Every structure is written in C-alpha cells, then in structure tokens.
Chain A
C-alpha cells in the first residue's frame, strides 16, 4: 500500500498569504495525484487532478505541481473561504489511498 504523508499537519496563515502544502508518497505515483478540500460537515471537493490540472470551476489561485513522490498544492493568496482541510490522494496503485490531511487555519 502506498502511504501518503502530508505536511505540515496544520498551517496557520492569514487571508492574503500564500499557502504551500506538501504530499510525499512512499513510492512513485507518477503524476496520478489529486488534491481535495473539505470544510466541516461537508463532502470533499476535488481541486486538482493528475498533479497539476485544476478541476472544473476551481479558482486559478489553486495550483498543483510535482511528480513521482513529491507533490505540492499552492494557494497563491488565501481567501476567507479557503480555510479548510486539504487531502491528497493517489490513483496509481491499488488500494487507492489518501494522505492524513493538512488543516489550513487562520
């Protein structure tokens, strides 16, 4: 099973600041990594798929990069609605696995 390790566990920032979230895989997942945002009491929402492709209706301030074992989600300038938990997920190998999450808080 591929283990995805997200860091940091918590990121304390202010609106307008840049957020950089990391996801490291225990073995290569090629480019097959996605990022999701989840707010309390809500379902996850797909932000980025295949490492760097924004999903439909996702603002341009969200960007993804990386390949192999190291991936980054960047939020260029935090909006108030961006404070949430972010998960990475790989689809390169069964079973599909998720990272433990990074909470972005004010």
Chain B
C-alpha cells in the first residue's frame, strides 16, 4: 500500500526558512514523479511544486519560484521542500502527492505551516 508521511511543519516568522519532508513507502519510490500541493486554511487546493522520478526536472508555481526548492533522496525514499523567505500567504497545510503524470492518486495526511510573527 502506498503511504506518504509528511513532517517538518510548524510556526515560522516571516522571512524565515523551513524544510518539509515526505517519507514514502509501499511503492518503488525512484520510479515515480512527486509533487507538493498546499491548502490555505478554509481555502482550495494549490499545486506548489513537482519533481521528476530521477530528480532532474523540477517545476514550480509562480508564487513560490525562487523561494522554494524541491528535491528528493531516492536512497531514503524521501521527498523534500526547502522553503525560504516565507510569507504569511504561505500559511497552509502542505501535502505530498504521488504524481501519475499530473494526476495525484495518493496523498499524505499533510503538515501545517504557519507563518506569523
């Protein structure tokens, strides 16, 4: 069974940094693309970033490009999202998702990031 478990969320001051992790199991991690999708409190879903199975290709929403970096360690079955220069509008639950060509068939339970002073 595919399982995705996010961690690393918390309270950060504006301008600060944080790294999220997503530990995966139940599938051959290195064969699949992965993505981060976020959801601000009471709002809808927003795709944030994606990475190809080998880690060569990365993609970002305009709202985070230049501030966030997606990466993966296929030897540890773990996906990361390094977030710098955080803003209040980055406050959200961040989900990692198993990416089947842009369709997300498995999701983690999410980790909450709050950016506030």
- A positions within 8 Å CB-CB of B: 32, 34, 36, 38, 42-46, 49-50, 55-56, 87, 89, 91, 94-101
A98 to B43, CA, bound (A): 11
Q: Is the interface of B mostly helix, strand, loop or mixed?
A: strand
Tell whether A91 pairs with B102 under 8 Å between CB atoms, given A43-B95, A43-B108, A96-B47: yes
> A49 contacts B44, CB within 8 Å?
no
Chain B residue nearest to A99 (CB atoms) is: B44
A101 to B44, CA, bound (A): 7
A34 to B44, CA, bound (A): 15
Nearest-CB distance from A97 to chain B (Å)? 7
> B110 contacts A97, CB within 8 Å?
no
> B62 contacts A95, CB within 8 Å?
yes
